[in-house]
A and B are shown apart, each in its own frame.
Chain A
């Protein structure tokens, strides 16, 4: 089973990379972009087939290493 973890900066935390992307889009003529937030995607290949256990395990991984919950949110999707 594959788990897809999406990590984004929390609302209110300045995202300078997102801002740089927004400016670059603007200079390319894409004028309608009101905000850009950049995050990261981590894909995990899991041995288990138990969805409930997998969800709990990956959330524990996020809390312990994958996300810094001071500044980041995470979401877990099992696919």
Chain B
């Protein structure tokens, strides 16, 4: 699996992401500076977490208009897999690749802790290594992770099975008390219509081995490898 990580000023999770991609695929990802206009030939483009442009104006807003994003959008529209985590998810909504917006957390607090997610669908190229309904534990670290979209968009996401992860209790129940940031329907991650662009607020790259407290995030990377490199 050949992958590229797009780097904007203020991004700080690219190394964690590179480590997870290398671990799952055996191939070192290419880091691409945001002022580049063309991505290398890759199977996967990742926009990692951090605080692009200091979150000025709105989280992800300025990064979404960076030169490299033109090619990211073109590749996504041509079918290349794109993963956005945390600030990367905000960039994907701001660039129009995913619907909705990420607003300030409902209780105004910056969150940095582990959460549980229910895997709502295993029928994606990002979640094939999980089972539907499985509960995983991964960290969140964000101040603006409150997912919002209008009622029609939410109905469409639900109807098309495009909500991939929801915040849940340790027992896997999607309840209001398991919602850390006020997201509609406890939504933690969504996928586009075509199934090649995933955005999520939690950080699977920071839960890939027991020393990190959980290795539940590794499945996401293994899923992508399996989707891109089917066993002969």
Contacts and interface: CB of A to CB of B under 8 A. Distances in A.
B104 interface: yes
Interface stretch (B8-16, B29-37, B105-113, B192-200): B105-113
A13 B101 CA distance: 11
A64 B105 CA distance: 24
B57 A14 contact: no
Interface residues of A, number: 11
Contact of A68 (B58, B104, B107): B58
A16 B101 contact: no
A71 interface: yes
> Chain B interface secondary structure, helix, strand, loop or mixed?
loop
Interface string A20-49: 100000000000000000000000000000
Interface in A38-64: 64
B63 to A, nearest CB: 11
Given A20-B108, A68-B94, A70-B148, A14 B61 contact: no
A70 B57 contact: no
Contacts of A75: none
A13 B103 contact: yes
B65 A14 contact: no
9 contacts: A13-B148, A14-B106, A16-B103, A16-B107, A65-B57, A65-B61, A68-B58, A71-B101, A71-B103
Given A14-B146, A16-B106, A16-B182, 8 more contacts: A14-B103, A14-B148, A16-B107, A20-B108, A65-B57, A66-B57, A70-B101, A71-B101
Interface of B: 57-58, 61-62, 65, 93-94, 99-101, 103-108, 146, 148-150, 182
